Chains A and B, each alone.
Chain A
Amino acid sequence: MNPVSDLIKNLADQHGRNRKNLLPILQGVVEQEKYLSEYSMIEIARELDLPASEVYGTATFYSFLEYKKMGKYIIRICKTITCSMKGKNQVLLAIQDMLKINVGETSSDGNFSLLQTNCLGFCHKAPAMLINNEVYTDLTPEKVRDILSGYLKKK
């Protein structure tokens, strides 16, 4: 059996098979798998006895619930006004240059995905980014290269 099915069963057991627990279940799958495949969404629908279209509709509404295959580390760089003013573009270029991927792409080894996101709530320490759930602030091209080399080493 597909390991995702087990994960979904466990999550449904843990949170309860009720519509109001759909989001925590979706988040649980994304936490493990980094994204929601069509298969996962159909399985969740089956577990919760919901139309698959409802699950798809909910999942695709939220920007942190990816439905395309993502890398092990998802980099989300804030593009809202203050971060843009404080040098987000240079930081972004440094990341693209180092990982050889553009925004919206995943590195060929499947380790990194690069995305832009809206305000992360760190405008006083701009520019800011998330790598999975970890926050990095006051970024410069040098700093971001250091951070990424750390990730490159530990992968």
Chain B
Amino acid sequence: MTESYQLKRADFIFKNENDWEEVMSKSFSRTPQELINELISSELKGRGGAGFPTGLKWKLTAEVVGDTKYVICNADEGEPGTFKDREILSMVPFKVLTSMAVCGYVIGAKEGYIYLRGEYFFLLPELNKAISEFEYYCKEINVDFTIRIFMGSGAYICGEETALFESMEGKRGEPRNKPPFPSDFGYLGKPTVINNVETLAHTYTIFKYGAKRFYDLGVQYSRGSKLFSVSGDTPKPGIYELELGMSLYDFVDEFGDGDTKAVQVGGASGFLVPRKRFQETAIGYQGKLVGISLPTGGSMMLFNSSRSMYNVLDNYLEFFREESCGQCTPCRVGCQQLLKGIKAVKRGEKKTQYLDKLLRLTDTMKLTAKCGLGQSVANSFSSIVENFREEMIY
């Protein structure tokens, strides 16, 4: 086993927020091009789960010509098992606000929005206080940038970036076709950078310490640290900042209860990894690592041997069936049929081979669903059914 696979703790996100004014004025004294290069060389990838290179996102939006552009912080944290963004916004809000303003400077935007999920309404007073203090400082140093909070109203799909724009425009949160991408056609049809809360907090670290400090963490293709939301059958549930690239084996060694049967990496839309695959599975973005490499928005749910994987899958499918926006048929009908299907197999009304039919249905959904929600149902479904087939039947 190589050294890079080991579990290493990091401590950047929740530390040293009181120098935000300094980081802000330092960043504004550099050219946008310098800041973009800093981000690109850090190899920071989006921490919401999809892993798009952040520097490239800012660069593409900066290059589009336009008078009005927007910066949006995606705080519609809805993936089951994820709770890190709330912690960032309540512990170190100024890091996020600073990064939003720097992003505005880089791409040429004067307005920023935080799309906050309705469930986190209680964060509002503190966050608004931070924003007024922040905007006061912006005025003092002649930076023209405002930040507004837009509240969600209980829809998981609105975490999908284009559904989020639709929602902010006062419509049903139904994802758009891509392309055009947000860098060309985002909120109100204007070029928009939309970043996850944690991604913005990491850009703060990069602007403060320089790209190298960040790049030196993690492994090839998966640089830097990441917040992990640990829950389920673990003696120490909570939020942990770890370097990317660790093996799941080491993770379970640290966080498991000694009887871990499987870990769901990446929430309901992620993958289930059974015990026999812990050793060969690394946590990070797809790259040339040996074995399997799983990306995650940070959700790590542990299950011990007392849990029925049928119940887990049933719960996930129920979730997707309710949260599917319903606009495209593969996802709307697919989620319903998958749930009906596993129930029928469990009750013995369908032969066990019916599970293979359902697996083919998830393949179809992966190919034909319009957005990430419908496409990712296949992840948990196939990884659970293939590894715990007998639990689906008996």
Q: Does A64 contact B (CB under 8 A)?
A: yes
Report whether A123 and B238 are in contact in the complex, using a CB–CB cutoff of 8 Å.
Answer: no
> What CA separation (Å) do A57 and B369 show in the bound complex?
22
Q: Write out the residue numbers on chain B whose beta carbons fall within 8 Å of the beta carbon of A120.
A: 119
**B17-25, B93-101, B153-161: which lies at the interface:** B153-161
B301 touches A82 (CB 8 A): yes
Whether a CB of chain A sits under 8 angstroms from the CB of B355 is: no
Contact with B238, one of A23, A65, A124, A134 (Cβ below 8 angstroms): A124
Size of the chain B interface, CB-CB below 8 angstroms: 50
Separation of A55 and B109 alpha carbons in the complex (Å): 30
Q: How far is the CA of A126 from the CA of B169 in the complex (A)?
A: 34
Instruction: Say whether A81 faces chain B, with CB atoms less than 8 Å apart.
Output: yes
Q: Is the CB of B170 within 8 A of A81?
A: no
Chain B residues with CB below 8 A from A122, complex form: 83
Interface pair B80/A123, CB less than 8 Å apart: yes
For residue A121, CB closer than 8 A to chain B, the reply is yes
Residue in A22, A23, A118 whose CB lies within 8 Å of B156: A118
Stretch at the interface among B4-12, B311-319, B337-345, B371-379: B311-319
With a CB–CB cut-off of 8 A, which chain B residues contact A80? 80, 268, 315, 319
In the assembled complex, the Cα of A124 lies from the Cα of B234 at a distance in Å of 9
Q: Is A117 engaged at the interface, CB distance under 8 Å to the other chain?
A: yes
A63 and B157 CA atoms in complex are apart in Å by: 11
Q: What's the nearest-Cβ distance from chain B to residue A55, in Å?
A: 9
Name B's A-contacting residues (CB within 8 A).
77-83, 86, 117-122, 150-156, 167-173, 188, 229-233, 237-239, 268, 301, 303, 307, 311-312, 315-316, 318-319, 322-323, 325
The 9 closest A-B pairs by CB, nearest first: A22-B170, A64-B154, A123-B231, A124-B237, A62-B153, A63-B154, A61-B172, A64-B153, A133-B121
Which A residues contact B (CB, under 8 angstroms)? 18-24, 26-27, 57-58, 61-65, 79-82, 84-85, 117-126, 130, 133-135
Given contacts A18-B170, A22-B170, A85-B232, could you give 17 more A-B pairs where the C-beta distance is less than 8 Å?
Answer: A20-B169, A22-B171, A23-B170, A58-B171, A61-B172, A61-B325, A62-B155, A65-B153, A80-B80, A80-B315, A82-B80, A85-B307, A118-B78, A119-B156, A124-B229, A124-B230, A124-B238
Between A and B, 24 residue pairs with Cβ closer than 8 Å are A20-B169, A24-B150, A26-B153, A58-B172, A61-B172, A62-B153, A62-B173, A64-B154, A81-B312, A84-B315, A117-B154, A118-B319, A118-B322, A119-B78, A121-B78, A121-B86, A123-B80, A123-B301, A124-B229, A124-B231, A124-B237, A124-B239, A133-B122, A135-B122
